[in-house]
């Protein structure tokens, strides 16, 4: 990652190379924390890939290690109680 904090306008901003990613922050500490968040987001984006659902085995787009069930299975599980009450 080429993220860094640099002066911008009256304050500081986070840059990726020459591209500015954030607005101006009034002090450098806040800008550094914003940079940490950007790096976290980038790490999570790297973990996103197709995985096989733990429940049905079907392939689905997973946003990270904690995301192991496809939307269909998650929907079924969360909707189960309501259907049992109604049925």
| Chain positions contacting Zn ion, by CB under 5 A | 53, 55-56, 70, 73
At residue 14, what are phi and psi to the nearest 5 degrees? -95, 130
Give per-residue burial for 1-17: e unless 16+ CB within 10 Å, then b: eeeebeebeeebbbbee
CB 3 within 8 A of CB 31: no
Rounded least distance, CB 77 to Zn ion, Å: 10
Rounded least distance, CB 56 to Zn ion, Å: 3
Smaller CB distance to Zn ion: residue 17 or 57? 57
Smaller CB distance to Zn ion: residue 22 or 55? 55
| H or E element, residue 61 | strand 59-62
Rounded least distance, CB 53 to Zn ion, Å: 3
Smaller CB distance to Zn ion: residue 44 or 77? 77
């Amino acid at each position: 990652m080429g993220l860094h904090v640099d002066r911008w306008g009256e304050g500081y901003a986070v840059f990726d190379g020459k591209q500015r990613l954030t607005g101006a922050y009034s002090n450098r500490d806040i800008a550094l924390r914003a940079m940490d968040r950007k790096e976290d987001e980038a790490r999570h984006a790297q973990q996103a890939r197709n995985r096989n659902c733990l429940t049905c085995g079907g392939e689905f787009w997973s946003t990270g290690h904690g995301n192991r069930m496809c939307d269909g299975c998650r929907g079924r599980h969360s909707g189960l109680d309501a259907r049992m009450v109604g049925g």
